[in-house]
Amino acid sequence: MSSLTHLECARCGKHFAAGQTHNLCDCGSPLLARYDLRRASPKLEPRHLQSRARDLWRYREVLPVRQDASIVSLGEGFTPLLHAHHLGDNLGLPNLYLKDEAQNPTGSFKARGMAVAVSVAQELGIRRLAVPSAGNAGGALAAYAAKAGMEAAIFMPEDTPLVIRLECALHGAKVTLVSGSIKDCGRVMRERLKGGDWFDVSTLREPYRVEGKKTMAYEVFEQLGGRLPDAMIYPTGGGTGLIGMWKAFGEMQELGWIGERRPRMFAVQAQGCAPLVRAFAGESEQAAEWVNPQTLASGLRVPAAIGDFLILRALRESRGAALAVSDGDMLTAVREIAETEGILTSPEGGATLAGLKKLLGDGFLAGHESVVLFLTATGYKYFEALETLASQRGN
């Protein structure tokens, strides 16, 4: 049973009632779900979790869905945490792990957030959902909306991979292709759907996708035998997962699972779209929009993140960093992960290995640390991006 009590603005702290429809705070900032963790703690002890289903709903007390009947699930969560022995040996990093989010329904970590967002929408009586998406969020919304019997409208850049466009259409979603980036998609979506009864489930413009994403942190803790790694490396566009995991660490501490120690958080972006890297280097609290974003990693082509201040805060408080890698290095890393560990990941997943190499080379990491790379989506949706890479190997 959920211990949800209210929603709270991440910037000004204003409270909003749970059980009602909300997007952003009056100040324009994201809202975060808050829980009565003292009440949840006795039921949510790690030793009690072993008998629960191996999906993200095992953490029901810290998820916002109040009635089990509202849950819309396709089996998301509890993805493998794989010890990357071969890759780790090559890097001199014996404690390297890969969180393989491709094992989620729809092939990416976006299933986590959409499962929770659609379930809350079901509970609130919302029947029409809309999102701007560079790819996998749209596919996930289309699938979960279909499962719930809801309508879905997806606004995508024209260069979104064909398989993802087909995925959305086959699930019955209304797909609109837009010239430009995901920001342009959001603008067109809000213009066209203005005045209708469509609910916007854009990244951090509603409070619940982040709650699904935070479960990655709970899982890593369990899968490492009741401890957290020294470092987490995360491909960062809108940054919902990084924000969610940082939130989860605070919940874990209040639940008594952990102390004050946190993993060092590293956000990896593309050199052609790196607003957070620029802001981190400039010691800014917000990230100015990146003009003309260019990268083959569609999930990283996010010129402005509404949760920028939350991402930057987590990086600084954890003694982490934001760094950028080239598209070429991402693709090389995709091939290296495939050849050493047998996982074909997306360019975004490749970015985490490229970022790890940079962190080791620059001395941010020494090699003795336990490190988790988040492989956020399957490479099987990105054949257009990976075709050149395969041809270079004579395939």
Is residue 263, in this structure, part of any structural domain at all? yes
> How far apart, in whole angstroms, are the C-alpha atoms of residue 106 and residue 140?
6
State the DSSP string of 222-288. Answer: HHTTS---SEEEEE-SS-HHHHHHHHHHHHHHHHTS--S--PEEEEEEETTB-HHHHHHHTT-SS-P
Is residue 180, in this structure, part of any structural domain at all? no
Q: What average pLDDT score do residues 136-156 get?
A: 98
pLDDT above 90: residue 390: no
pLDDT above 90: residue 365: yes
Q: What is the pLDDT of residue 196?
A: 82
- Nearest-Å Rg of the Cα atoms of the chain is 20
pLDDT above 90: residue 194: no
- The number of C-alpha atoms within 13 Å of 99 and in the hemisphere containing its C-beta is 31
End-to-end CA distance of the chain: 52
Q: What average pLDDT score do residues 157-166 get?
A: 93
Amino acid (1-letter code) at residue 130: A
- The number of C-alpha atoms within 13 Å of 277 and in the hemisphere containing its C-beta is 19
pLDDT above 60: residue 394: no
Q: What is the pLDDT of residue 183?
A: 92
Query: Among 212-226, 284-298, 375-389, which stretch is predicted with the lowest mean pLDDT?
Result: 375-389
> Which residues fall within 8 angstroms of residue 382, CB to CB, at 6 or more apart?
161, 346, 347
Q: What average pLDDT score do residues 196-224 get?
A: 97
Is residue 63, in this structure, part of any structural domain at all? no
Looking at the structure of the chain, the number of domains it has is 1
pLDDT above 90: residue 231: yes
Is residue 97, in this structure, part of any structural domain at all? yes
Map tokens 């949800």 to a residue: 4
Please report which confidence band the pLDDT of residue 195 belongs to, taking 50, 70 and 90 as the band edges. Answer: confident
What distance separates the 2 farthest-apart alpha carbons in the chain? 59
Q: Which residue has the higher pLDDT, 310 or 159?
A: 310
Q: What is the pLDDT of residue 393?
A: 59
Is residue 15, in this structure, part of any structural domain at all? no
Is residue 257, in this structure, part of any structural domain at all? yes
Q: Bridge-partner residues for 15, per DSSP?
A: 8
Is residue 76, in this structure, part of any structural domain at all? no
Residue 119's SS3 state is helix
Q: What average pLDDT score do residues 292-299 get?
A: 94
pLDDT above 80: residue 119: yes
Across the chain, mean pLDDT equals 96
State the DSSP string of 185-217. Answer: HHHHHHHHSTTSSPEE--TTTSSSHHHHHHHHH
Q: What average pLDDT score do residues 177-194 get?
A: 94
Please report which confidence band the pLDDT of residue 391 belongs to, taking 50, 70 and 90 as the band edges. Answer: low
pLDDT above 70: residue 328: yes
| Alpha carbon separation from 136 to 58, 62, 140, 297, 348 (Å, rounded) | 24, 25, 6, 12, 12
pLDDT above 60: residue 45: yes
pLDDT above 70: residue 333: yes
Q: What average pLDDT score do residues 290-318 get?
A: 96
Q: What average pLDDT score do residues 316-334 get?
A: 98
Q: What average pLDDT score do residues 38-57 get?
A: 95
| CATH number, residue 360 | 3.40.50.1100
> How far apart, in whole angstroms, are the C-alpha atoms of residue 359 and residue 115?
33
pLDDT above 70: residue 44: yes
Q: What is the pLDDT of residue 392?
A: 66
Please report which confidence band the pLDDT of residue 348 belongs to, taking 50, 70 and 90 as the band edges. Answer: very high
Please report which confidence band the pLDDT of residue 385 belongs to, taking 50, 70 and 90 as the band edges. Answer: confident
Q: What is the pLDDT of residue 395?
A: 47
Is residue 66, in this structure, part of any structural domain at all? no
Give the domain range for residue 233: 81-108+207-391
